[in-house]
């Protein structure tokens, strides 16, 4: 009965015009996202309350350092023994699905990242919840699109709606969530796509506000208005957060790559979990996402009650009265947050980098203002403003998304009076970070393989093309031992311009062309005795099966050839025609509705 109802509903919705169907699906995605976000937050908080039973550090002493290890072990056990498949990072996997899988996200992502992230974050893993929720929502958006048999562009838009809804549900920032979908997921922005994105975001926020309360993740009240004389300090903070974002990204990529080299998942989880426990034992504020610590820093007007409470249960507890030692403590939190996050995710925990980047940026902003106050360079800098703006600075640098950073922090914390410093810091951070690191944690691997969709329409169209679909495998081939007179009939019956020559193992040795045959074509005595090997020539270029379309285009451009052979290492695969390649490119432009 349920199946028949779903079938009937699907058929009725499928009859709607595309623009109406997209809006209806956007609402559904937003409502689902809100429910997932409420469930995710409730599950994580319930686990934390259960395992801590009050004060994390006082009730449990040092026992809490083992909890992140337990959470990671549970997550990797589910991945390897229950799901029995590898889970890829949230947002990078979504970008890959858009660029190389025609926006098709595997069905296990409907639930896998959601449940594994609950244990990772619930037990204190130093990672955020936004990445897994984006991946979960993207799977629902993609599979709803497949259910209603929409085209690639519509399916991609639904994934964008899902990502926007996830960010809106987590941070209760619908406008920033829309900007995130366009800026980070590289979506094509148009008025027609704006409505579904907004509808999905608003629907998600309505659910989280209804069932999750109206409390914001970041609690901020603007007490000190921005003054123009502080502009230089905010620009300097932008440069500092830009450099720190490069440190964050490179250190994260370095540590996670080292863990990926460990093939045994048990050894990877144990080693990473134990190292994470040591880091958390030394610096307890690194336990979990860190939003509560950020709120304490924002509410702190100096090194007094709130901040000293953070430091008192650490190795710095005996020096809470020393301003210089507290500065050192803050600096250590900035340095070690990325280590804690890298250990969490690298060892197999499921989580995102959004929350860690906010923590690191906020702590750095607080350190920045307190440094100038402590050394009496400027004693009037408002610490809470610099803490808030520091979050935007690091987010802009790590994600290469300055607009997302500006709108997110303004919406989340209600810091609309700080738009100018947010712009100054985010823009400077983005410029510094982009100058030193062309790609982000999200895009590095895809960009290296040429699989990243950007706002460049030509590159986007080429990224979407599939090289293997363009390979002609029915070309006539010869072996080097064959006599020309034995293949003369083949030459007469086909209109091929090139004939690949392969050995008995299938390896490409070269090719023959009409130009190669012309010198002996009218010399019967030579032609009748000549072998293929005698007229064999080297192709002007060879295409690898692993080349991306941009590389293939360049090879055709450099050689001015019309057909080139394709190999897998040295094994012959087929031939690619320049004419067919250009035709496929034009078709991709047309079908994706890019303007040409």
CATH number at residue 466: 3.10.580.10
CA distance 285 to 282: 9
Sign of CA dihedral 535, 538, 539, 542: positive
pLDDT in tens, 312-339: 666 666 666 667 778 888 898 999 999 9
CA distance 19 to 346: 41
Residues 6+ apart with CB under 8 A from 252: 338, 341, 342, 345, 353, 441
Three-state secondary-structure class, residue 262: coil
Residues 6+ apart with CB under 8 A from 455: 186, 188
Cα of first residue to Cα of last residue in the chain, in angstroms, is 48
Q: Where are the alpha helices (DSSP H) in 53-111?
A: 56-60, 67-77, 90-100
Which residue do the tokens 């925990």 mark?
349
Asked whether residue 220 is domain-assigned, the answer is no
Residues 385, 427, single domain; the answer is yes
Three-state secondary-structure class, residue 508: strand
Q: Which of 182, 212, 242 is at the close of a domain?
A: 212
pLDDT of 576: 87
Nearest residue to 68 (alpha-carbon basis) of 267, 259, 281, 258 = 281
Asked whether residue 326 is domain-assigned, the answer is yes
pLDDT of 460: 61
Asked whether residue 222 is domain-assigned, the answer is no
Q: Which of 397, 419, 449 is at the close of a domain?
A: 449
Residues 181, 245, single domain; the answer is no
Listed as ranges, residues in the chain with pLDDT below 70 are 1-19, 53-64, 89, 186-189, 212-215, 300-322, 415, 445-464, 486-492, 517-528, 588-596
Residues 488, 393, single domain; the answer is no
Residues 433, 513, single domain; the answer is no
Residues 6+ apart with CB under 8 A from 445: 92
CA distance 390 to 385: 8
Asked whether residue 163 is domain-assigned, the answer is yes
DSSP structural state of residue 528: T
Find residue 575's DSSP bridge partners. 472, 565
Which residue do the tokens 């032609």 mark?
527
Q: Are 355 and 378 in contact (CB under 8 A)?
A: no
- CA 483, 485, 487 angle in degrees (round to 5)? 80
pLDDT of 404: 92
CA distance 503 to 525: 26
Residues 344, 435, single domain; the answer is yes
Q: Angle, nearest 10°, between helix axes 231-260 and 383-399? A: 50
**Which whole-number Å values give the CA distances from 265 to 259, 346, 562, in the listed order?**
9, 11, 48
pLDDT of 103: 80
Nearest residue to 157 (alpha-carbon basis) of 125, 185, 179, 118 = 185
Three-state secondary-structure class, residue 424: helix
pLDDT in tens, 375-388: 888 888 888 899 99
CATH of the domain at 412: 1.10.3080.10
pLDDT of 596: 31
pLDDT of 397: 94
Run of H or E residues at 565: strand 563-568
Q: Are 67 and 123 in contact (CB under 8 A)?
A: yes
Q: Are 13 and 149 in contact (CB under 8 A)?
A: no
CA distance 541 to 560: 10
Residues 502, 426, single domain; the answer is no
The answer to whether the predicted template modeling score (pTM) of the entire model surpasses 0.85 is: no
Residues 190, 240, single domain; the answer is no
Asked whether residue 34 is domain-assigned, the answer is yes
Residues 440, 567, single domain; the answer is no
Three-state secondary-structure class, residue 149: coil
Residues 235, 203, single domain; the answer is no
Residues 116, 150, single domain; the answer is yes
Nearest residue to 139 (alpha-carbon basis) of 441, 12, 131 = 131
Nearest residue to 187 (alpha-carbon basis) of 404, 465, 433, 355 = 404
Phi/psi region, residue 139 (left: phi>0; alpha: psi -120 to 50; beta: rest), is alpha
Asked whether residue 221 is domain-assigned, the answer is no
Are β-strands 563-568 and 543-544 bridged in parallel, bridged antiparallel, or unpaired? parallel
CA distance 61 to 68: 15
Asked whether residue 251 is domain-assigned, the answer is yes
Q: Which of 150, 178, 212 is at the close of a domain?
A: 212
Phi/psi region, residue 290 (left: phi>0; alpha: psi -120 to 50; beta: rest), is left
Total domains present in the chain? 3
Three-state secondary-structure class, residue 500: strand
- The 10 Å Cβ neighbour count of residue 282 is 14
**Tokens encoding 139:** 């799977």
Q: Are 29 and 196 in contact (CB under 8 A)?
A: no
Strand spans (E) along 135-180: none
Q: Where are the alpha helices (DSSP H) in 184-221?
A: 191-212
Domain that holds residue 37: 2-212
Q: Is 330 exposed, middle or buried, given 0-12, 13-18 or 19+ CB atoms closer than 10 A?
A: buried
Residues 159, 287, single domain; the answer is no
Residues 182, 258, single domain; the answer is no
Q: Are 348 and 79 in contact (CB under 8 A)?
A: yes
Asked whether residue 454 is domain-assigned, the answer is no
Q: What does residue 563 show for φ and ψ, rounded to 5 degrees?
A: -145, 140
Nearest residue to 339 (alpha-carbon basis) of 294, 286, 377, 379 = 286
DSSP structural state of residue 288: S
């Amino acid at each position: 009965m349920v199946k028949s109802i779903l079938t009937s509903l699907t058929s009725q919705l499928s009859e709607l015009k595309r623009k109406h169907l997209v809006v209806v699906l956007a609402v559904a995605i937003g409502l689902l996202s809100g429910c997932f976000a409420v469930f995710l937050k409730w599950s994580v908080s319930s686990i934390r309350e259960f395992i801590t039973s009050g004060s994390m550090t006082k009730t449990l002493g040092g026992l809490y350092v083992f909890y992140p290890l337990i959470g990671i072990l549970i997550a990797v056990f589910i991945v390897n023994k229950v799901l029995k498949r590898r889970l890829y990072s949230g947002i990078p996997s979504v970008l890959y699905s858009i660029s190389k899988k025609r926006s098709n996200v595997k069905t296990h992502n409907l639930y896998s990242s959601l449940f594994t992230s609950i244990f990772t974050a619930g037990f204190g893993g130093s990672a955020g919840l936004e990445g897994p929720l984006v991946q979960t929502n993207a799977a629902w958006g993609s599979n709803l699109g497949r259910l209603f048999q929409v085209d690639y562009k519509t399916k991609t838009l639904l994934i964008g709606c899902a990502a926007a809804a996830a960010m809106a549900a987590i941070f209760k920032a619908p406008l920033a969530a829309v900007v995130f979908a366009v800026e980070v997921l590289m979506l094509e922005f148009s008025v027609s796509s704006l409505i579904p994105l907004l509808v999905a975001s608003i629907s998600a926020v309505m659910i989280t506000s209804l069932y999750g309360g109206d409390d914001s993740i970041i609690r901020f009240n603007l007490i000190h208005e921005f003054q123009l004389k502080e502009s230089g300090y905010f620009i300097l903070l932008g440069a500092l957060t830009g450099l720190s974002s490069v440190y964050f990204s490179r250190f994260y990529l370095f540590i996670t790559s080292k863990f990926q080299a460990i093939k045994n998942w048990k050894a990877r989880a144990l080693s990473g979990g134990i190292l994470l426990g040591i880091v958390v034992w030394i610096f307890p504020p690194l336990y979990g996402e860190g939003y509560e610590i950020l709120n304490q820093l924002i509410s702190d007007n100096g090194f007094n009650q709130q901040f000293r409470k953070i430091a008192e249960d650490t190795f710095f507890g005996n020096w809470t009265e020393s301003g210089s030692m507290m500065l050192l403590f803050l600096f250590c939190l900035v340095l070690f947050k990325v280590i804690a996050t890298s250990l969490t995710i690298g060892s197999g925990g499921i989580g995102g980098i959004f929350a860690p980047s906010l923590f690191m940026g906020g702590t750095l902003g607080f350190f920045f203002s307190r440094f100038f106050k402590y050394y009496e360079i400027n004693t009037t800098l408002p610490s809470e403003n610099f803490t808030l703006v520091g979050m935007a600075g690091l987010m802009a640098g790590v994600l290469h998304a300055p607009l997302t950073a500006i709108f997110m922090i303004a919406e989340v914390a209600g810091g609309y009076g700080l738009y100018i410093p947010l712009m100054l810091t985010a823009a400077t951070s983005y410029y510094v970070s982009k100058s030193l690191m062309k790609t982000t944690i999200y895009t590095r691997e895809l960009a290296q393989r040429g699989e990243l969709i950007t706002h460049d329409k030509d590159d986007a169209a080429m990224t979407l093309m599939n090289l293997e679909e363009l390979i002609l495998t029915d070309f006539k081939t010869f072996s080097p031992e064959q006599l020309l007179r034995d293949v003369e009939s083949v030459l007469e019956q086909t209109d091929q311009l090139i004939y690949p020559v392969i050995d008995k193992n299938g390896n490409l040795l070269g090719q023959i062309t009409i130009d190669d045959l012309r010198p002996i074509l009218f010399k019967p005595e030579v032609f009748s005795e000549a072998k293929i090997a005698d007229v064999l020539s080297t192709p002007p270029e060879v295409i690898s099966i692993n080349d991306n379309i941009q590389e293939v285009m360049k090879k055709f451009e450099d050689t001015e050839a019309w057909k080139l052979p394709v190999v897998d290492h040295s094994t012959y695969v087929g031939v690619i025609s320049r004419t067919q390649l250009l035709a496929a490119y034009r078709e991709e432009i047309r079908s994706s509705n890019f303007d040409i």
